[in-house]
């Protein structure tokens, strides 16, 4: 009987606690103070906005993304893709419309969580760094400098990339294979399982190191340049580009384009090496990688990949695919930033990446 009283009292206390918490949140809402439930909802909305931004931007430039990877990894003794226009025409002629978007499903499956985590991590890292900076300087009105924004962007990029890297690895292989490949990955999950079974768990993170190193200038500069340029335009308002302390969508597109161009140019050689390392160990490598009579080079690590690439193909090989990537990255980054902020406005999220 006593135990039943204890259980009944425990349940009663739990119910009372729940009612009190709900009442407190309602009171806070009436007073304009946001309760814990609102914060969770805001975080979820921010994640959704980041995911939508990544999916929309990557789908818009999927043909250029596939061509870039094909140019990066194709064997120099068996050239099939020679330039942006010729490469796109060749894919259209040999594989049709589906060929232009091959690997885009896997890319979106990767980029949606990647972008969601990246944008959310950037916001949280920015707030944490800003708080620490204000505590250190004693200036409550201090704002993030370009260097601090670079650090926040780099942290966000490394976290997001590491969380989704296996999907990026198999996406590269799915993108490279053609209808004439000796072995076909049927999709992302089939590719993940096959690589794990045939090459081991470590193979899923092959090329991770150059990716981490490349994330620092690429993602870091993207955020730093975008936010700094946007703040400068808001403060100086050249040519009347700012209206009511807000920038027009076209102006924000321009900021994103500049940020993307600078970031991708600095980090591009590391992206080439990453893609080539991802192809190592692929026993059923497509003829794009192996060529007609030559075998694909084997790399023992990032430094070895750099050395062999420059020795066999020259320094210019580190920038293979740069043209389609430049054409791709400008609208991709710009669309991602603008879509992210527009979706957040639609969902009613108060916090912005410039806060």
221 and 186 together in one domain: no
Q: Are residues 120 and 53 in the same domain?
A: no
How far is 31 from 25, CA to CA, in rounded Å? 10
Residue 202 covered by a domain: yes
Domain that holds residue 41: 34-83+329-354
pTM (two decimals) = 0.68
pLDDT of 353 reads: 44
Q: In terms of domains, do 312 and 340 share one?
A: no
259 and 304 share a domain?
yes
Identify whether 16 is part of a domain.
Answer: no
Residues 56 and 78 grouped into a single domain: yes
55 with 113, same domain?
no
Contacts of 287 (CB under 8 A, 6+ apart): 78, 178, 180, 181
What percent of the chain has a predicted confidence (pLDDT) above 90? 21
Express each pLDDT in 275-300 by its tens digit. Answer: 999 988 887 777 777 766 566 668 88
**Residue-averaged pLDDT of the chain:** 80
Ranking 20-29, 157-166, 191-200, 212-221 by mean pLDDT, the lowest is 20-29
Residue 89 lies in a domain: no
Q: In this structure, are 202 and 224 located in the same domain?
A: no
Burial class (CB in 10 A: 0-12, 13-18, 19+), 38: middle
* Residues 118 and 201 occupy one common structural domain: yes
Residue 25 maps to a domain = no
How confident is the model over 34-75, as pLDDT tens digits?
Answer: 555 666 777 777 778 877 887 888 888 999 999 999 999 988
Residues 217, 169, single domain; the answer is: no
Same domain, 59 and 136: no
pLDDT band at 345 (very low <50, low <70, confident <90, very high): confident
Q: How many residues does the chain have?
A: 355
Asked if residue 8 is part of any domain, the answer here is no
Same domain? For 155 and 78 the reply is: no
Half-sphere exposure of 123 (CA within 13 A, CB side): 21
State how far the Cα of 118 lies from the Cα of 41, in Å rounded to an integer: 18
Say how many C-beta atoms besides its own lie within 10 A of residue 87's C-beta.
Answer: 23
Question: How sure is the predictor about 33, in pLDDT bands with cuts at 50, 70 and 90?
Answer: very low
- Same domain, yes or no: 124 and 202: yes
> How many domains are there within the chain?
3
User: What CA dihedral angle connects 344, 349, 353 and 355, to 10 degrees?
Assistant: 150
Q: What is the pLDDT of residue 36?
A: 54
């Amino acid at each position: 009987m006593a135990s039943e009283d204890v259980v009944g009292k425990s349940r009663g206390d739990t119910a009372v606690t729940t009612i009190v918490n709900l009442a407190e949140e309602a009171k806070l809402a009436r007073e304009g103070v946001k309760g814990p439930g609102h914060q969770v909802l805001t975080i979820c909305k921010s994640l959704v906005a980041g995911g939508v931004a990544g999916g929309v931007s990557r789908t818009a430039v999927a043909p250029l993304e596939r061509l870039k990877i094909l140019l990066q990894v194709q064997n120099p003794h068996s050239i099939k893709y020679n330039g942006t226009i010729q490469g796109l025409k060749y894919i259209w002629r040999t594989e049709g419309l589906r060929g232009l978007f091959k690997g885009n499903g896997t890319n979106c499956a990767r980029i949606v969580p990647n972008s969601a985590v990246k944008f959310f991590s950037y916001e949280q890292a920015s707030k944490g760094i800003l708080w620490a900076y204000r505590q250190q300087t004693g200036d409550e009105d201090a704002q993030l400098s370009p260097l601090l924004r670079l650090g926040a962007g780099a942290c966000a990029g490394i976290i997001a990339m590491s969380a989704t890297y296996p999907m990026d690895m198999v996406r590269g292989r799915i993108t490279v294979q053609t209808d004439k490949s000796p072995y076909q990955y049927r999709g992302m999950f089939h590719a993940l399982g096959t690589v794990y079974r045939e090459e081991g768990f470590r193979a899923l993170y092959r090329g991770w190191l150059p990716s981490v190193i490349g994330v620092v200038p690429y993602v870091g500069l993207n955020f730093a340049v975008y936010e700094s340029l946007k703040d400068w335009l808001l403060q100086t308002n050249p040519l009347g580009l700012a209206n009511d302390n807000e920038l027009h969508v076209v102006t924000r597109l321009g900021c994103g384009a500049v940020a993307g161009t600078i970031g991708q140019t600095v980090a591009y050689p590391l992206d080439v090496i990453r893609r080539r390392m991802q192809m190592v160990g692929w026993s059923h490598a497509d003829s794009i990688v192996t060529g007609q009579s030559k075998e694909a080079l084997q790399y023992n690590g990032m430094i070895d990949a750099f050395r062999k690439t420059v020795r066999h193909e020259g320094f210019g090989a580190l920038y293979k695919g740069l043209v389609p990537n430049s054409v791709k990255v400008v609208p991709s980054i710009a669309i991602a930033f603008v879509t992210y902020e527009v979706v957040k406005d639609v969902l009613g999220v108060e916090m912005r990446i410039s806060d």
